Structure 1
Amino acid sequence: MTYFPKQITGGLTFNFKVNLTAYPASSGWSLVAYLRGESVIDLQSQADGNQHVFNISAEITKTYTAGHYGYSLRAIHTSGTVDELESGVVEIKADLASLSGSSDLRSHAQKTLSALEAVIEGRASLDQERYRINNRELYRTPMETLIKLRNQYRAEVSQERAKASGKSVFGQVIRVKLG
């Protein structure tokens, strides 16, 4: 079971509750989420009956540096016992309200695909794969390799877009009834 969200958006209130019967907040347990990546972020839960509540204001989340962070969600008892409940990666998304107009919010795959397509387009008029001038050599990546990489990144971008629109990343779903 996953307790911790996989995304936090800067500039928005980050609020979620966790109800753990093995670690009730009313019995001296608290939760701490340690995030490590572009910066160091420690999130402390507050007790609400038996539930653990994380409520981080928009004023605080807007100061978070965007990026991917490793996290460890830990239950800590007043007696000193510490248990790790889960760990993984969380993405902190930039606060769009605080970004300049020149910010590039494309994913790595989208940026790489654009770069590969620009190289392929530029190479379309060049016929040399390598050449030498005054004992200096220049080797260009073979066109077949560039096209293979472009196709790989096209597929990755297509999956990102399908996921963002809520479509299946496995393609069309075919339902079969047996029996």
Structure 2
Amino acid sequence: MESTLPRQHTAGDSLSWRVEHPGYQPSDGWEVIAYLIGPVVKSLPGEADGEGWVFSAKPSDLENLEPGPYRVRITWTKDNGDTRDTIEDGTLKVLADPTQITDGRSHARRALEAIEATLEGKATSGMLDMRMNDRQVRSFSVEELLKLRDRYRAEVAAEDRAAGLGGGNRLTVRL
């Protein structure tokens, strides 16, 4: 089976891909539906296109598509549903709709900011109410906050490096 299923998709965007399978030709009477199975389940009917199928969805077709990993399964039917075959097409990672993100910071970055503000005595009530390890930030001792700060600093540094934002302490100079 040949498929142009993308590896990732941004929620709120249009989605389209093509599938060809020699055993499931439109000319042989097959009909097809793709199922996106993840935090929510969506079904997309395929449209015959020569020897293959095209799956297309407008943003309104994918309303409420939540971020996360999705398995994509394709079900072919013919003979009014008397014959049915299902094949896994792959996985699709759905990214958050950027128009719906209210705070783009990661949990690690928000936690680090709350911990550092608490240690400095500048935390807001929202920061003090933030929960970590099933406890509010305000309930941690100074020693616990220092340990958590080190852990979250390392996580934020790793996120920054992965995003290509540096974060290393190495400076190379050539003379």
If the length of structure 2 is used for normalisation, what is the TM-score? 0.62
1:72 maps to 72
Question: What secondary structure does 2:22 align onto?
Answer: coil
Question: What is the CA distance between 1:124 and its match in structure 2?
Answer: 4.6
CA distance in 2 between partners of 1:2 and 1:156 (Å): 32
Runs (4+) off by over 4 Å: none
Read off the aligned partner of 2:50 and give its amino acid letter. Answer: G
CA distance in 2 between partners of 1:84 and 1:105 (Å): 38
Residues 1:115 and 2:115 are matched in the alignment: no
CA distance in 2 between partners of 1:156 and 1:25 (Å): 46
Please point out which of 80, 85, 98 is paired with 1:82: 85
Q: Is the 8 A contact 1:113 1:154 kept in 2?
A: no
If the length of structure 1 is used for normalisation, what is the TM-score? 0.61
Question: What secondary structure does 2:83 align onto?
Answer: coil
**Cα gap change, 1:105/1:16 in structure 2, threshold over 3 Å: closer, same or farther?**
farther
Seq. identity, %: 19
User: RMSD over aligned Cα, in angstroms?
Assistant: 3.2
**Cα gap change, 1:95/1:119 in structure 2, threshold over 3 Å: closer, same or farther?**
closer
Read off the aligned partner of 2:7 and give its amino acid letter. Answer: K
For 1:43-73, what per-residue CA distance to the aligned partner results, in whole angstroms no more than 9, with x for missing partners?
A: 1111111111012123333x23332143232
Question: How many residues were matched structurally?
Answer: 143
2:104 maps to 106
**Cα gap change, 1:70/1:15 in structure 2, threshold over 3 Å: closer, same or farther?**
closer
- Structure 2 spans left out of the alignment, 5+ residues: 122-138, 166-175
